[in-house]
Amino acid sequence: MTQLESRIRLGSGILLAVYVAQHLLNHAFGIVSIEAAEIYRKSVGAVFQATPVLIAFYASVMLHAAVALRSVYRRSSLRMPLWQWLQLLLGLSIPPLVAGHAIGNRGYALLGDLDPNYYYVVTSMALDPVTLIKLALLVPLVWLHMAIGLHFWLRLKSAYSRFLPWLFALAVLVPALALTGILHMLQQASTWAGDRDRLDQIYAALREMSRADLRFLQGLETQAWIAMAALLGLTLLARQLRLWRQARRGSYRIEHPARPGLRAVYGPSLLDALRQARVPHASVCGGRGRCTTCRVRVGEGLAQLPPPNDLERAALQRIDAPADVRLACQLHPRTDLAITPLVQAGQTLAASLHAGGVQGHEEYVVAMFVDMRGSTSLGERVLAYDVVFILNRFFTELSEALQQSHGHYAQFAGDGLMALYGLDPARKPHACADALAGAREMFRRIQALNLQLQREFGESVKMGIGIHGGEAIVGTMGPPKTPLLTAVGDNINIAARLEAQTKTLDCDLIVSLETLEREAIEVAPESLREVEVRGRENHVRVSLLACDSIPSTDAP
């Protein structure tokens, strides 16, 4: 959807919402009496019956419907969130229900000298149960369709959450009052259902209309239904023809962390392609470019992508996104590309806009993974509370070692942790040296801790450490209430897998040779080894070190 279409849809929707809200409030005055509702219609409601307002209203109806049908035509996948399906079905059900109501009021007023006042409308409903049923369905359907649209637009506004309880109360109260007012007016009208003089007065203008005009208006509702069904059918047919034509043009490959090697046809947006492949992907606004929760970081193929359109550019500028971040809902690739989603698929809007959402940047860091050995068997030999005590002592010592060596605690996982080195620009040239110093300090502290644990519990703890450096996405991530500064990426995964290899290779520390060579740190040649790392085609050259043979450097 272009920025112009988005503005047309939003602007026409807001105007229609204002018109519907005041119209239902007019019905609500029927709780007092038909006379009260009629007084409102001739005073406040008269403003909305002025010719310029009516022109804007009918123009908004046509534009809103046209943009909606165009969005159906352009949609490459009918897989969408439940709220979008609900809004779509509600929107499609409104025209058939409102056609008779509009023709019965505006049509008769145009062709005859008929004032569609509340006396006429309510009496017609009282005498025709079908019309009453249609109106009883129309009020909640129109209101719910409107409320869904406004909610998913307003919830992107920061102040919306503060007023949400009050707005929710209004959303429930207004249609309830309108339906109650209609019911009360029907009860009042039923008292003159058998009054021939009163009915002749109400329908006097109707009976003066020519039979030709009456037959035309009576058949117009059926014709309107046929036209709407044909328009929807043609839209769906045109959409299917477009999809067939796109499928013949070719496809491209998407490298996605959850689905490597995914193929998609040219034409649909990246978001639609992921939905078609049943790959979960965040999209709070439903793919309309009103939010940035569908954003992805593009690696391979970035240079070949078309530039952002106005809607995408405006959205990305609001969050100061780097050049390699694009909106999946606005991106229509025609080349192979690798992407990394930046917002968790099931994440709430508040979480994605909070600092806890993934708001990162790419930089070089050295990742260290530390894992306690034998924690499971420790739990079998020691009481549960004693295990908690030992783990707390273990992590206290690791934390002290990180503080001394310029390390940053990034993640905690049961009996292990992840640390980052080089986050401070001044320490980045010495990130590996700091990590080795941190590892030495950790082993020294754990050896001292084991002397105490042996005396107190007859137990000791062991650990393995993996170290690897490289480019990674660093940022504040995690739950909104407890976010952490951490890092994600392939190089982070390598460090974790090197730590896992310490069990297999029976060593205390494994550090990649690439990371050592970056800072010209020398290790004994006999410590070098090539190891296989899951997820990597080539072996990784590493140094296997014991806790007492970790090299010391002269880093400041």
Q: Which residues contact 499 (CB under 8 A, 6 or more apart)?
A: 369, 370, 371, 416, 464, 465, 466, 510
For 451, how many CA atoms within 13 A lie in the half-sphere containing its CB?
Answer: 5
19 lies in the same domain as 138: yes
Domain containing residue 346: CATH number = 3.10.20.30
**Of the residues 331, 353, 375, the one at which a domain ends:** 353
Q: Please, which pLDDT band fits residue 358 given cuts at 50, 70 and 90? A: very low
* pLDDT-derived band at 192, boundaries 50, 70, 90: confident
Residue 456, pLDDT > 50, answer: yes
The answer to the question of residue 552 being in a domain is: no
Q: How many CA atoms lie within 13 A of 27 on its CB side?
A: 22
Residue bearing tokens 């919402």: 17
Do 461 and 450 touch, CB atoms closer than 8 A? yes
Residues 209 and 334 in one domain: no
* Res 67: pLDDT: 85
**Amino acid 189: pLDDT:** 86
Residues 104 and 194 in one domain: yes
pLDDT of 463 over the 90 cut: yes
**Overall average pLDDT of the 379-384 stretch:** 69
Whether 218 is in a domain gets the answer: yes
The dihedral sign for the CA sequence 463, 467, 471, 476: positive
Residues 483 and 381 in one domain: yes
For residue 532, tell me if it sits in a domain: yes
d(CA 138, CA 149): 17
Taking the alpha carbons of 505, 511, 517, 520 in that order, is the dihedral positive or negative? negative
pLDDT score of 75 more than 80: no
What type of residue sits at position 341? P
Residues of the chain with pLDDT > 70: what percent? 91
Bigger pLDDT: 32 vs 3: 32
For the ranges 111-120, 182-191, 305-314, 426-435, which has the lowest average pLDDT? 111-120
Q: How far apart are CA 531 and CA 363, in angstroms?
A: 26
* Burial class, 431, CB count within 10 angstroms (exposed 0-12 / middle 13-18 / buried 19+): buried
Mark whether 175 and 258 lie in a shared domain. no
Paired residues of 254 in beta bridges: 262, 337
Residue ending a domain, among 212, 242, 272, is 242
pLDDT at position 265 is 85
Instruction: Work out the pLDDT band at 163, boundaries 50, 70, 90.
Output: confident
Highest mean pLDDT among 420-429, 475-484, 511-520: 511-520
Lowest mean pLDDT among 94-103, 152-161, 224-233, 266-275: 152-161
With bands split at pLDDT 50, 70 and 90, how would you rate the model's confidence at 346?
low
pLDDT the model gives residue 508: 94
The whole-angstrom separation of Cα 440 and Cα 508 is: 11
Residue 556 forms part of a structural domain = no
Judged by DSSP in three states, 298 sits in strand
Q: Give tens-digit pLDDT for 493-509.
A: 999 999 999 988 989 99
3-state helix, strand, coil in the chain (%, to 5): 60, 15, 25
Kindly state whether residues 371 and 281 are assigned to the same domain. Answer: no
> Do 338 and 469 reside in the same domain of the chain?
no
Last residue of a domain, one of 194, 220, 242: 242
| Lowest model confidence (mean pLDDT) among 36-40, 101-105, 172-176 | 101-105
Q: In terms of pLDDT, which residue wins out, 300 or 286?
A: 300
> Do 342 and 324 contact (CB within 8 A), yes or no?
no
The residue segments making up the domain with residue 429 are: 359-545
Helical residues (DSSP H) of 358-470, grouped into ranges: 375-381, 384-404, 431-457
Alpha carbons 329 and 272: distance in angstroms, whole number: 7
Average pLDDT, rounded, for the chain: 84
Whether 442 and 457 map to the same domain: the answer is yes
Of 38, 6, 50, nearest to 19 by C-alpha is 50
How much is the average pLDDT of 293-302? Answer: 87
- Rounded to two decimals, what is the model's pTM? 0.52
Say whether both 229 and 123 belong to one domain.
yes
Asked if residue 193 has pLDDT above 90, the reply is no
Q: Is the pLDDT of residue 349 over 60?
A: no
Query: How many angstroms separate the CA atoms of 158 and 153, rounded?
Result: 11
Q: How confident is the model at residue 355 (pLDDT cuts 50, 70, 90)?
A: very low
Number of structural domains in the chain:
3
The pLDDT value recorded for residue 482 is 59
**Which residues 6+ apart lie within 8 Å of 556 measured at CB?**
430
Residue 555 lies in a domain: no
* DSSP secondary structure string for all residues of 509-546: EEEEHHHHHHTT----GGGEEEE--TT-SS-EEEEEE-
pLDDT value, residue 357: 41
Query: How far from 345 is each of 47, 296, 348, 375, 385, CA to CA, in Å?
Result: 46, 12, 9, 33, 37
Question: Which three-class secondary structure state does DSSP give residue 341?
Answer: strand
> What is the structure's pLDDT at 383?
73
> Do 402 and 538 reside in the same domain of the chain?
yes
Asked if pLDDT for residue 354 goes beyond 50, the answer is: no
| pLDDT confidence bin for 347, thresholds 50/70/90 | low
> d(Cα 495, Cα 509) in Å, to the nearest integer?
11
* pLDDT confidence of residue 441: 94
**Tokens 């290790």, located at residue:** 523
> Same domain for 238 and 264?
no
237 shares its domain with 270 = no
- Domain CATH code at residue 497: 3.30.70.1230
Helix, strand, or coil (residue 472): strand
Give residue-wise pLDDT tens across range 121-159.
888 888 888 888 888 888 999 999 898 888 877 876 767
184 occurs within a structural domain: yes
Task: Please report the pLDDT score of residue 459 as a whole number.
Answer: 81
Q: Would you give the end-to-end CA distance of the chain in angstroms?
A: 55
The position carrying tokens 């025709």 is: 128
